[in-house]
Amino acid sequence: MESVINSIGIVSPLDYEFGNGDGGIGLDNGETFGPITVRYETYGTLNAERSNAVLVVHAFSGDAHAAGKHGSTDRSDGWWDSMIGPGKGLDTSKYFVICSNVLGGCRGTTGPSSINPATGREYGMTFPVITIHDMVKVQKRLLDHLEIEKLVTVIGGSMGGMQALDWAVAYPETVRSAVVLAATARLNAQGIAFNAVGRNAIMTDPAWNNGDYYGKTVPARGLATARMVGHITYLSDESMRMKFGRKLRERETYGYDFADVFEIESYLSHQGDKFVERFDANSYIYISKALDYFDLGDRYGGLAEALARATAKFLVISFSSDWLYPTYQSKEIVFALMKSNKDVSFTELSSPYGHDSFLLETERQATIISSFLDTVDGQRR
C-alpha cells in the first residue's frame, strides 16, 4: 500500500474562464472562439520565483485529474498518480505540477457538450473543428493567467506527447525541456484509419442524431464500440496473450453461439461500457479529428525545420511493444532533433504492455524522467 508520505491527498479542481470580452483565441481553422472555461488541477507549491512549474498534458481520454483524490470516499486516484507526488518522478516537493483538460474535452474544459452562450444550448456539432495546436494555445492562456513565464518541462504521453512537441515549437521561450512519451510527430494512415472507424461507429448509431442527443438517449453503443476499437490499439499481442489468451468466460466449452464467450470479448465490452459513463461521444469525434490533423512539420516546411525553432532539451521515450506509435516514429523525432543540433536523449523501454506502457511502466520511467529533470533544473541553479 502506498505510503501517505508519497500521496498528493485530496485535491480540488479549479476553473479559469477567458474570452468573454477579448474574443477568445484564434483557431487554426480561421475562426475566433470564446468564451472558454479551462478545468485544471495543481499539485505542489509554486516557488517565489515562479520557476518550478511543470505542465502535464494528457492523452486522448485523460483529463485534468492527474493525481490525488477528489474526496475521502473517492475510490480511484488520478490517472498518473504513480508519477506525481513527493519523491515520485514528478516530485511535488520540488515542482509545481499543472494539468488541464484539453479544449474540446468533456471533463470541465469547454467542448461540444458545453453550453453555447449565444443559444443557451449545448454546442454539439456547431462546436468548431479544433487542432492539437489550438489545445496548446488554450494551455498557454492558462499559464499566462497563473503568471508562469517558464516551465521546467512539458510532459505527456500519446496525444500528450504531441502537445509537448507543439509546445516546444510554438512557445520556445516558455519551454525549458520537453518529455515525449509513446508519441509521434504526425499521425500515419493506420492511426487515421482507426480514428475513422471510431467516428463512424458513433455517427452511424441512430441515437447520435447528428450530434443532437443531449437530454435524450446517448449513442452508447456507437461510443462503446469506438472505445473497444481504440482500446485494442493501446494493448499488444503479448499483453493480450498473457492476460487473456483464448480463455473462456464462465464456461469450459464453446457454446457455438454469438455470445461473448472469450475473456477478451468480455473485457472489451466492459471497457466500452465504462467509457460511455465518463466520456462524451461528440468530444470523441472532435478530439480524434484533431489527432488526424496533427503534423508538426507541416506548417514549418518539415519536421527538422519545425524542431529547429525549439530551444528546449528533449527526452524521448518509446516502448518496444507499442504498435500504435511504434519506436520508429519516436526515432523520426530524435533524428530531426539531431539534424537541428538539439539536445536530445532517447531510450526505448522493453515492455509487453503496448501503447499503454507509458501509463503502466511508471517506476522505470520515473527514474529516467527525474534524472533528466535534474539536468534541466540544474541549469537554473
Given 61, 100, 114, 158, which residue is catalytic? Answer: 158
Given 91, 355, 370, 377, which residue is catalytic? Answer: 355
Cα distance from N-terminal residue to C-terminal residue, the chain = 35
Q: Which three cell numbers stand for residue 347?
A: 531510450
Q: Which residues pair with 180 in a beta bridge?
A: 156, 316
Q: For residues 25 and 139, what is the distance between their CA atoms, to the nearest angstrom? A: 11
Residue whose cell numbers read 483538460: 101
Residue whose cell numbers read 508519441: 183
CA distances in angstroms from 36 to 17, 21, 126, 160, 350, listed in the order given? 6, 11, 15, 20, 41
Q: For residues 167 and 203, what is the distance between their CA atoms, to the nearest angstrom? A: 32
Instruction: Assess whether 158 carries a catalytic annotation.
Output: yes
Dmax (CA) for the chain in angstroms is: 68
> CB burial class (10 A; 0-12, 13-18, 19+) of residue 218?
middle
Given 63, 81, 322, 377, which residue is catalytic? Answer: 322
**Burial letters 163-189, b for 16+ CB under 10 A, else e:** bbbbbbbbbeebbbbbbbbbbbbbbee
Q: Count H helices and E strands in the chain, helices first.
A: 11, 14
DSSP string, 26-49: E-TTS-EE--EEEEEEEES---TT
Catalytic residues: 158, 322, 355
